[in-house]
Amino acid sequence: MPELPEVETVARSLRGPLIGRKIVAMWQDWAATIHSPSPAEFEARIAGQTVRRISRRGKYILLELDQDTLMIHLKMSGRLYVAEAAAKHDADRWVHVRFDLDNGEQLRFSDLRKFGRVYLTDDVASLLTHLGPEPLSEDFTLAGFRDGMRGRKRAIKALLLEQEFLAGVGNIYADEALFRAGIHPATSVQRLNDHDTERLRQTIRDALLAGIKHEGASINWYRKPDGQKGESQDYFFVYGRTGLPCRNCGTAINKIRVAQRGTHFCPECQPIRG
């Protein structure tokens, strides 16, 4: 599933072709993709609205319109791209929602697995109240990070995956951040000291910023709106590198399961505690 760096890359890439463009019509052939409102109301409300701003919250892409916000979650295999109405692309076979623009182009939402969702709302905040702080914002304070960990007994990797705890971090960047911090992913939260939490807060930010710099990781479905792959996977320390030598010490990268997710770490650089 695309995480914060991938979603941020998509949002940034869509600003050029979409900001200032008016949506003149909508088409869909898979009603389940339309989370809310109903497909008929969605189509009627969005027609005639202009895209004013594009941003991101957690793993959601937010297109702010005149009266509403078009909110999109890519889930596992979602792709967003802008194309001329007559243009054909390989991903078109999985397009289930399409927005026609006033310049003859289209914003297309391709989603092979059909888990992605689109929302049209005039109250974004009410739909996103479950999300924790943005890890790259000023809201992600060291004090708040430590407060959120207090009393927790689960593995630190499992906690980092909770969107209610921290928005936008997923399996990939949790592994990368924990490696950078020298913390074994199965370490119980209660075993982390103040130095650990301070270092981890910083490495979470470092791992995400590196992901944005390299425009996301194209390991499975993710592609940038121009169809090109991101390059983050070429710079990972541990994720997807099972059996390969650690870039730091040369020890083979191991893979285990934590919170039912494949988890990568260096047993030398990230020794287990207790």
Residue 65: Cβ within 10 Å count: 19
Q: Is 177 exposed, middle or buried (0-12, 13-18, 19+ CB in 10 A)?
A: buried
| Contact yes or no for 23/101 (Cβ under 8 A) | yes
In the 8-state DSSP scheme, what is residue 191? G
Catalytic residues: 2-3, 59, 261
User: Could you tell me where the DSSP H helices lie in 57-168?
Assistant: 124-127, 142-149, 156-160
Q: How many CA atoms lie within 13 A of 209 on its CB side?
A: 10
Contact status, residue 3 vs residue 210, Cβ threshold 8 Å:
no
Task: Give the position of tokens 């623009």.
Answer: 101
Q: Which residues pair with 11 in a beta bridge?
A: none
Tokens of 94: 């999985």
DSSP string, 194-244: HHHHHHHHHHHHHHHHHHHHTT---SSS---TTSPPP-GGGG-SSTT-TTS
